[in-house]
Amino acid sequence: MSYLRVRGLSVEFPIYQGGNRSLKKSLLAKTTQGNLAKDARDRLNVLALSDINLDIEEGDRLAVLGANGAGKSTLLKVLAGIYEPTSGGLYATGRVSALLTASVGLNPDATGRENIVLRGMYMDIHPREMRTRVDAIAEFSELGYHLDLPVRTYSTGMVIRLCFAIATSVRPEILLMDEWLAAGDARFLAKARRRMADFVGASSILVLASHSIPILEEWCNRAILLDHGRIVEMGSVKEIAAAYQQAA
């Protein structure tokens, strides 16, 4: 049975290091608003997530709402294993597939075909297994001969096609999604949406961060609202969407 359990989880990012006489540090150290904090070594940090406690069980379709900078993408990256928490813990079981930042796990100097294997390793899939999926990934991405060219020569839309085809080549138990697919072209988005409907239905757990209320209402059955890295409300998608819109 798949689950994600988050206990007292916080994530901090240092934003400035320098001598005590630095004017910039002196000014920033006086900041008391938002989610800035000083650590034991007198460094100024951004508290991206603060004391997150969350249980996501099999069958949950969790919507993550919040203004830009609220911590949505950071939370997804922690759940995906991209970021390590500064404190607290994450306990999980189940194969995770993350549709987050398109470039994560890609080597720009490697070809698309080589990156299929590399990104598979990032997804904890053996290269031998990923090689058996290359033809299907190539067909869905429609990249043709570009798969044998370095990824640095790709447009943003081509990178998205490749990453989406790779990420959806293996059915996950836990699916984490951000809004980066919106940069794709309209025809591919229609194709991707059909695949996603099937993909989401097959997963045990979905965590979706989005500003689109209709998408969240279509795919999710519960929601959380983040503000300055903290969970400020939990409830149904309708309740949390209303709170989000009222606060906007």
Give the confidence band of 23 by pLDDT, cuts at 50, 70, 90: very low
Same domain, residue pair 7 and 79: yes
Separation CA 98–CA 105 (nearest Å): 11
Predicted local confidence at residue 184, as pLDDT? 58
Is the sign of the CA dihedral 150, 113, 95, 225 positive or negative? positive
Same domain, residue pair 12 and 51: yes
- For 192-204, how does the pLDDT look when each residue is reduced to its tens digit (9 = 90+)? 888 877 877 778 8
Same domain, residue pair 196 and 103: yes
Residue that terminates a domain, selected from 169, 185, 203: 203
Domain with residue 223: its CATH number is: 3.40.50.300
Same domain, residue pair 195 and 223: no
Same domain, residue pair 26 and 68: yes
Same domain, residue pair 238 and 153: no
Across the range 175-199, mean pLDDT stands at: 76
Same domain, residue pair 108 and 84: no
Q: What is the number of domains present in the chain?
A: 2
Same domain, residue pair 52 and 90: yes
Same domain, residue pair 9 and 89: yes
Across the range 26-43, mean pLDDT stands at: 53
Same domain, residue pair 138 and 72: no
DSSP alpha helix (H) spans, the chain = 23-29, 72-79, 112-122, 127-131, 134-141, 156-167, 186-202, 213-219, 237-247
Same domain, residue pair 153 and 222: no
Range(s) of the domain holding residue 194: 99-203
Separation CA 60–CA 242 (nearest Å): 20
Same domain, residue pair 138 and 57: no
Average pLDDT, the chain: 85
- For 41-95, how does the pLDDT look when each residue is reduced to its tens digit (9 = 90+)? 666 778 899 999 999 999 999 999 999 989 999 999 999 888 999 999 999 998 8
Predicted local confidence at residue 137, as pLDDT? 95
Across the range 112-117, mean pLDDT stands at: 95
Give the confidence band of 9 by pLDDT, cuts at 50, 70, 90: very high
